[in-house]
Amino acid sequence: MPGAVEIKSQKVADELKNALPSKLEVKRVSKTFEAKRGEKFLALDDVSLNVGEGEFVCLVGPSGCGKSTLLNLIAGLDKADSGEILTNGKPVSEPGRDRMMMFQEHALFPWLDVIGNVMFGLKLKPNLNDSERREVAKYYLHLVGLDRFLNSAIHELSGGMRQRVALARSLAPNPQILLMDEPFGALDALTRENLYGDLQRIWQQRKKTIVFVTHNIREAVCLGDRVILFSPNPGKIREEFKVELPRPRSINDPALSEVSSVITAALKCHLDAKGVME
């Protein structure tokens, strides 16, 4: 990455100090949805998961196994029917700036330029004035490699660049937990490859606890300290795998393929057992 951004004020330097990453506990969480015709659908069944401070955990599993549902519950966007979710020992009851979410669709504001989008998330920081917010936003845009695009319009950016803006926007409020729902799912392989490297660097630099949802097992192995395998009907955790490969990891590393094959085989086995696959 090119030279660092110069930080002029002490207040901004304080703002940019790493927030201590949170511990996350999901305790026996179940969630039912009511389908249109009134029947109940068990999206998450008695799911428990502990994520350590600064750990990078990936959730994988086929469509409909409750990955996004769990992320929404952790974000406080929805409520569990039973069980509880704790961050640093405190129950989650609503959305908060300690937990930022990033989606597959970038959800940026098209009427704001790149830096405007990142500054938007800082509006609620009463201790910062406008020029300090701008400095903070610049720091994060540098972190994601977009220094040269501060004043670009969103429609001028490629899909990968938009996701970089979305990442900078999620990081800017300095959350302790970053929740990522298939953030690279719509990008081509080469663009994704660059983002894997950058996300690992940023995670290590900013010390976040990350819960990352993906369909892509190689992606999960490339990024995660642990890969948690879900299966559907009802959504349940079936197995988990610790990934001990050294970092930074490259998606093309043959050792990574080996670990991915083991997890893919396990997933097939769980789905076969449930009759989900032929």
| Contacting positions for ligand ATP (CB under 6 A) | 33, 41, 43, 63-69, 215, 235
Of 47 and 154, nearer to Mg ion (C-beta) is: 47
Closest CA to 26 of 208, 174, 230, 274: 230
Q: Least distance in Å: CB of 215 to ligand ATP?
A: 6
Of 68 and 170, nearer to Mg ion (C-beta) is: 68
Of 40 and 123, nearer to ligand ATP (C-beta) is: 40
Tell me the β-bridge partners of 230: 237
For β-strands 56-60 and 226-231, DSSP reports them as parallel
3-state secondary structure at position 141 = helix
Cα maximum dimension of the chain? 61
The amino acid present at 123, given as its one-letter code, is K
Structure tokens at 138: 């610049």
Q: Least distance in Å: CB of 197 to Mg ion?
A: 24
Contact flags string 60-99 toward Mg ion, x per CB under 5 A: --------x-------------------------------
3-state secondary structure at position 15 = helix
Q: Least distance in Å: CB of 52 to Mg ion?
A: 24
CA distance 194 to 202: 12
Q: For residue 147, how far is the Cα from the chain centroid?
A: 23
Q: Least distance in Å: CB of 133 to ligand ATP?
A: 33
Q: Choose the one of ligand ATP, Mg ion, none that binds residue 10, judging by a C-beta under 5 to 8 angstroms depending on kind.
A: none
* Residues that contact Mg ion, how many (by CB under 5 A): 1
Q: Choose the one of Mg ion, ligand ATP, none that binds residue 214, judging by a C-beta under 5 to 8 angstroms depending on kind.
A: none
Burial string for 127-137 (b: 16+ CB within 10 Å, else e) reads ebeeebbbbbb
Distances (CA, A) of 56 to 25, 40, 180, 223, 245: 14, 33, 11, 7, 13
Task: For the segment 200-229, give every residue that binds Mg ion (CB under 5 A).
Answer: none
Contact flags string 14-53 toward Mg ion, x per CB under 5 A: ----------------------------------------
Q: Least distance in Å: CB of 39 to Mg ion?
A: 21
Of 47 and 154, nearer to ligand ATP (C-beta) is: 47
Residues at the interface with Mg ion (CB under 5 A): 68
